[in-house]
Amino acid sequence: MQIGLTMFNDTLDFQYGTDKCNLDAKNPFSGGSGVLASGCVQPKQAMSVIIGLYVVALLCGIYFAFATGIESLYIAGIGAFISLAYSAKPFRLAYRGLGELAMLIGYGPVLTAWAYYVYAGTVTTDIILAGIIPGLCMWTMILINEIPDYAEDKAAGKKNLTYRLTPKGSKNLFITSLGAIYLYIAVLLVAGVLPPLASLAFLGVPLAVTAAQTANREYANPLKIAKANKYMVLIYSLTNVAVAVAFLAS
């Protein structure tokens, strides 16, 4: 589903008129994969693979529904809807300033709840709260990845949060969101929702400081802000691995 969503968004963005930059002149962390813009892959070829990926995901969802309970299919259905509605008409959430929130929900509590249900046969409040962590990380990563695409997205009418806030406003929201990730983790640790070992996530604070400083300084330069994009990928990975390891070890 994840691969299908990424390819589907990439293909529709290309068809809508965005993500058509030359590979040699783009930020490597934004603007799509570039394979469609370069002509290496045609949209019809991409869609054939996308359909195949979604069929495989559907079959897996049906299997787990029989193996663990129909509720898992309901949760998966929410995720499937988000993955399609993100870019596809008539919803086009990413073009209406709702894509970031949709990814927070889909990559966060929805995906976490589904995975937990498959193993445990239930979903708890603590799991939903913990699932917001990867959602916040995805929200924050999308924000920084949208900034280099501002001019292209604006020209194509992609009215995401960066379009609405401008790059300056979006980088401010990005910095705030970075802080919110660690504040939220701290609250869950104090509340006992997260195991103590999840405090390893704070090892990413130096990366977050560097990402915030880079975004604050280079938000108007699509290429120089790539350092912040790179560090956000590392923050995303480190944070979620730390939380997952903490749960597995508890």
Residue of 54, 34, 55, 36 lying closest to 45 (CA atoms): 36
Q: Report if residue 37 sits inside a domain.
A: yes
pLDDT of residue 90: 93
Listing DSSP states for the chain in one string gives -HHHHHHHHHHHHHHHT-S---GGGS-TTSS--STTTTTSS-HHHHHHHHHHHHHHHHHHHHHHHHHH-THHHHHHHHHHHHHHHTTSTTT-GGGTT-HHHHHHHIIIIIHHHHHHHHHHSS--HHHHHHHHHHHHHHHHHHHHHHGGGHHHHHHHT---HHHHHHHHHHHHHHHHHHHHHHHHHHHHHHHTSS-GGGGGGGGGHHHHHHHHHHHHHHTT-TTTTHHHHHHHHHHHHHHHHHHHHHHHH-
**Model pTM score:** 0.90
Residue 155, classified by CB atoms within 10 Å of its CB into exposed (0-12), middle (13-18) or buried (19+), is exposed
Please name the residues in contact with 161: beta carbons below 8 A apart, sequence gap of 6 or more. Answer: 97, 100, 143, 146, 170, 173
pLDDT at 190 over 70: yes
Q: Report if residue 85 sits inside a domain.
A: yes
Q: Lowest-confidence range among 24-28, 89-93, 137-141, 242-246?
A: 24-28
Q: Report if residue 219 sits inside a domain.
A: yes
Report, as an integer, the average pLDDT of 235-246: 97
Chain centroid, CA 146 distance in Å: 12
Mean of per-residue pLDDT scores for the chain: 92
Answer for the pair 177, 136: CB distance below 8 angstroms, yes or no: yes
pLDDT of residue 14: 85
Confidence of residue 246 (pLDDT cuts 50, 70, 90): very high
Residue of 56, 239, 57 lying closest to 139 (CA atoms): 239
Give the whole-angstrom CA distance, residue 111 versus residue 225. Answer: 30
Residue numbers of the domain that contains 80: 2-243
Q: How many distinct structural domains can be found in the chain?
A: 1
Q: Report if residue 250 sits inside a domain.
A: no
pLDDT at 184 over 80: yes
Q: Report if residue 230 sits inside a domain.
A: yes
pLDDT of residue 39: 80
Residue of 113, 117, 93, 114 lying closest to 103 (CA atoms): 93
pLDDT in tens, 12-46: 888 887 766 555 557 777 766 778 877 888 989 99
Q: Report if residue 249 sits inside a domain.
A: no
CA distances from 62 to 65, 83, 237 (A): 5, 17, 29
pLDDT above 70: percentage of residues in the chain: 96
Q: Report if residue 227 sits inside a domain.
A: yes
Q: Report if residue 248 sits inside a domain.
A: no
